[in-house]
Structure 1
């Protein structure tokens, strides 16, 4: 009695329709044989797609091998496009396929366009593009110098008529920029001092120079790290707030209303913020340096057994007082620059929310960059100040 043939197992049936490329060796050379269903439906699975990419990678188009597409069950335009892209838009030297597959591939080859190659720029075009940067920098420098000039005139007006100055705005900004920033600056300074003292103590212990931790912490924190760290924190905290405040006034057309009412922007908006930061920044810098020194003192006591009494006694001898005046002086410069940059970008905000966010980000980045550059300039100009012979 004849036996009926059993249907193929589901796994075998799925494997038979899976698109793949197999390798075959013949006397005439090496062949790449495509099998399965090369359709969008068959390649929709991520597993199938990864396996197909792996099998295609094993049959590169550059080695001149022959291709046999006759075992393909189905071929749609997606599968044909995949093959055509794998062949780098060129027909293989030897290709065997059915007529219906050739019709699909011919259509794909006919309507597939290569992406246009970007022409290389000539030297004149590069110079022309570079030449556009100069006028932009000049415009920015012109507007910034105009802002500085207006600030100078407003300060002169303040000195002539102090009773007309916006003292309430100044006191409010001084509180927000200074008093409210004390907790975060103290915390960051304390942690920086602990970290710096701990890392320094590991090196000094190897050479028996534990006592020099007072010199290292005192000079680095009071002269450099304290002012720069405070300036970076204030640039991210208060500088962004200044830009956002003035930018919102631009979006809500309050600046236009002030201009119509005859209220000068520089005297009521720029000058109080600049003066507030110029006064607050040296105090915040000194506060941050003190917190960092306290953190370093604690770490030195725990790691090197250098007590707070010795630390406080050796600190004035290790760090001359001129370092403190230098730190406070450049902190005041940092405060003026941060406020001016923040006000400049706030005034340049266009009446839309996208420009407001972009201006706030640019303000913080520019402020931090200028602070670091000016600090490097101070380090070069005053390299002989604050060191004992």
Structure 2
């Protein structure tokens, strides 16, 4: 056994039993699991002895507060009748005795906690709803102001957002749309081939991509890509106190920050939706030709008869609503960011999750309300 291993030796003397504490009683020497378990077992055996005897700590190599606390707990938070220690060791023991460490009491379960938590969540939801309604009202007022005085509008910001939100998103939306079309065509072809209904793949792909998947897929991609960017941009302005500077200068936040983004996304979302739908139809057409020998010419000629124009109109209208919702949610969380980086990260995450959830919920609402349109 190493001489620095913490241990206790018992010696019988004419005055009674003597416990000699040896080794290094420090955090570094006590924390290894085998050492701690062996020493704890030895202390438990000593605890069962009704004649604790005398204690001698003068042969200790090292003693810190962890070792002193272990001894103090074994002594029952009271000094032994006979104790031989050095002055430095006594100082450590007196410090531990002066500031005792008591185990934390188990926390009692309160039946009212779930109710309180539910109330807090409800109040937080109402607060978010009030802020969002206020943001929508301010956006309407800003649009009216722009209609009255268009020469004062932030057109440079509007064109910049058109480029950053719309043009730069075209490659990724086309790629994802194309792959979704390929996957759908291959999966549908396996089912239609069993019934000899190869020609109906045009109907299924046309309705599903033009009416539902195209707009929703584009909205989800824009929510994750541009919605988070909107929240981060406005949140950084909060952290760097640019929003406070705008308020001091008398610059309206809604007119310069929210409205240009809302108008840009309302214009660009239908275009991105159509672009994504075309890429998905192209992928579906090529996959149909490879899997079911449906020629591209037949696919293109059959598509207008299989899908009415009302579906494209409905998809474009949904895209406008999706774009406005993404902007409102992104700006809402961006304006609520507190001036610290942790709040910025939390706001950006909440913005993306909320935007995607709202898009899916609104799409379900559109599907129910317009279930007889174009089908």
Structure 1 and Structure 2 fold alike (TM over 0.5): yes
* Counterpart in the other structure of 1:242: 230
* Counterpart in the other structure of 1:365: 353
**Paired residue secondary structure (2:337):** coil
**Paired residue secondary structure (1:263):** coil
* Counterpart in the other structure of 2:214: 226
User: Aligned to 1:381, which of 351, 369, 372?
Assistant: 369
1:116–1:209 CA distance, 2 compared to 1 (3 A): farther
How far does the alpha carbon of each residue in 1:117-154 deviate from its partner, in whole angstroms, 9 at most, with x for none?
A: 332222x4432332222222211111111000000000
* Counterpart in the other structure of 1:78: 37
The structural deviation recorded for 1:380 is: 0.8
RMSD, matched Cα: 2.9
State how far apart, in whole Å, the 1-side matches of 2:126 and 2:340 are: 26
* Counterpart in the other structure of 2:82: none
State how far apart, in whole Å, the 1-side matches of 2:41 and 2:145 are: 74
State how far apart, in whole Å, the 2-side matches of 1:256 and 1:166 are: 20
State how far apart, in whole Å, the 1-side matches of 2:117 and 2:167 are: 47
State how far apart, in whole Å, the 1-side matches of 2:265 and 2:162 are: 7
* Counterpart in the other structure of 2:194: 206
State how far apart, in whole Å, the 2-side matches of 1:83 and 1:170 are: 77
1:115–1:109 CA distance, 2 compared to 1 (3 A): farther
State how far apart, in whole Å, the 2-side matches of 1:310 and 1:109 are: 92
TM-score normalized with structure 1 length: 0.73
List gaps (5 residues or longer) in structure 1. Answer: 1-12, 14-38, 50-75, 85-90, 92-96
State how far apart, in whole Å, the 1-side matches of 2:326 and 2:311 are: 22
TM-score normalized with structure 2 length: 0.76
1:81–1:305 CA distance, 2 compared to 1 (3 A): farther
* Counterpart in the other structure of 1:267: 255
8 Å contact from structure 1 (residues 80, 105) kept in 2: no
* Counterpart in the other structure of 2:341: 353
User: Aligned to 1:121, which of 97, 110, 113?
Assistant: 110
How far does the alpha carbon of each residue in 1:55-90 deviate from its partner, in whole angstroms, 9 at most, with x for none?
A: xxxxxxxxxxxxxxxxxxxxx653354799xxxxxx
How far does the alpha carbon of each residue in 1:163-212 deviate from its partner, in whole angstroms, 9 at most, with x for none?
A: 11111110110111111110110000001100111111111111211111
1:384–1:117 CA distance, 2 compared to 1 (3 A): same
8 Å contact from structure 2 (residues 230, 331) kept in 1: yes
8 Å contact from structure 1 (residues 222, 327) kept in 2: yes
**Paired residue secondary structure (2:373):** coil
1:128–1:244 CA distance, 2 compared to 1 (3 A): closer
The structural deviation recorded for 1:369 is: 0.7
Aligned length, in residue pairs: 310
How far does the alpha carbon of each residue in 1:339-389 deviate from its partner, in whole angstroms, 9 at most, with x for none?
A: 0111111111111222111111111111011101111111111111111xx
State how far apart, in whole Å, the 1-side matches of 2:75 and 2:321 are: 67
Q: For 1:63-212, what aligned pairs fall within 5 Å after superposition?
A: 77-79=36-38, 81=40, 116-122=105-111, 124-212=112-200
1:257–1:44 CA distance, 2 compared to 1 (3 A): closer
* Counterpart in the other structure of 2:55: none
**Paired residue secondary structure (1:132):** helix
Is 1:344 the equivalent of 2:332? yes
State how far apart, in whole Å, the 2-side matches of 1:82 and 1:306 are: 79
Is 1:251 the equivalent of 2:210? no
State how far apart, in whole Å, the 1-side matches of 2:179 and 2:276 are: 11
Of 248-257 and 183-192, deviating more is 248-257
Q: For 1:270-285, what aligned pairs fall within 5 Å after superposition?
A: 270-285=258-273
8 Å contact from structure 1 (residues 210, 304) kept in 2: yes
8 Å contact from structure 2 (residues 30, 36) kept in 1: no
8 Å contact from structure 2 (residues 230, 334) kept in 1: yes
1:83–1:213 CA distance, 2 compared to 1 (3 A): farther
8 Å contact from structure 1 (residues 77, 108) kept in 2: no
**Paired residue secondary structure (1:178):** helix
State how far apart, in whole Å, the 1-side matches of 2:41 and 2:223 are: 53
